[in-house]
Amino acid sequence: MTTRTPEELEEKLHYHFKNKELLITALTHSSYANESKTPTLYNERLEFLGDSVLSVVVANYLFHHSTRPEGELSRMRASLVSEDALFQFAQEIDLGSYLRLGRGEELGGGRCRPSVVSDAFEATIAALFLDGGIEFITEGKTAEDDHKTALQEVVQKHPDDRLTYTVTGESGPAHDKRFQVTVALNGKALAVGEGRSKKAAEQQAAKAALTKLEQQA
């Protein structure tokens, strides 16, 4: 598999680094540095910082856009910054294809390994934070962007109502998967969404459900 360039990732992120080395380091796995003939920085220190940055950003977002109690907010934050969630976020920008890996890690499927890709996602967040500040990471994030939260707020008006999200279809090769998710209200299908990750498909399903409920109101 041909590694894509950092410049291509910058285009996808809609951000151009002032210090390009930060991005290159974020995309460099320890296996690449270990096999390099010259001293090479890799992403573990950035991963450490990115984990904290993400936690603060997510906590701040939830605090301002949800009225749920502390216990529920903590569980929501833990879910949003879990390895599985970060891996799915990373898949939305195909982050694995930009990584610099050692030969062994490459042959072992490192570009699709959740632990490797989610760590690189955290490192990339840290690189963005160091180069562009917290404002860039949070820029444009409004309650309306999170359709699942918005839909949950609507449903909460009726305490007995329950939402469920189910993957009802998958297509495409492993490196370019497409998912179809159906959101149901009390077991009855409400809307369908599609995306390059399960999370993205869920958001699209929630968005479609919100539109449907608004039309029925």
Please write the tens of the pLDDT for every residue from 12-27: 887 889 999 999 999 9
Higher pLDDT, 173 or 40: 40
| Beta-strand relationship, 163-171 and 178-185 | antiparallel
Find residue 195's DSSP bridge partners: 179
Q: What's the pLDDT at 142?
A: 44
Higher pLDDT, 142 or 27: 27
Is-contact 71 57, C-beta < 8 A?
no
Whether 122 is catalytic is yes
SS3 16: coil
Which is catalytic among the residues 47, 105, 119, 122? 122
Cα 196 from Cα 177, distance rounded (Å): 6
**Residue from 116, 108, 87 nearest 177 by CA:** 87
Cα 84 from Cα 118, distance rounded (Å): 8
Please write the tens of the pLDDT for every residue from 96-141: 999 999 999 999 999 999 999 999 999 999 999 999 888 777 654 4
The helix-helix angle for 44-65 and 114-132 (nearest 10°) equals: 80
Percentage of the chain beyond pLDDT 90 is 60
**Predicted TM-score (pTM) of this structure:** 0.66
Whether 51 is catalytic is yes
Task: Show the tokens assigned to 85.
Answer: 């969630």
Residues 6+ apart with CB under 8 A from 176: 94, 196
Which is catalytic among the residues 10, 44, 51, 106? 51
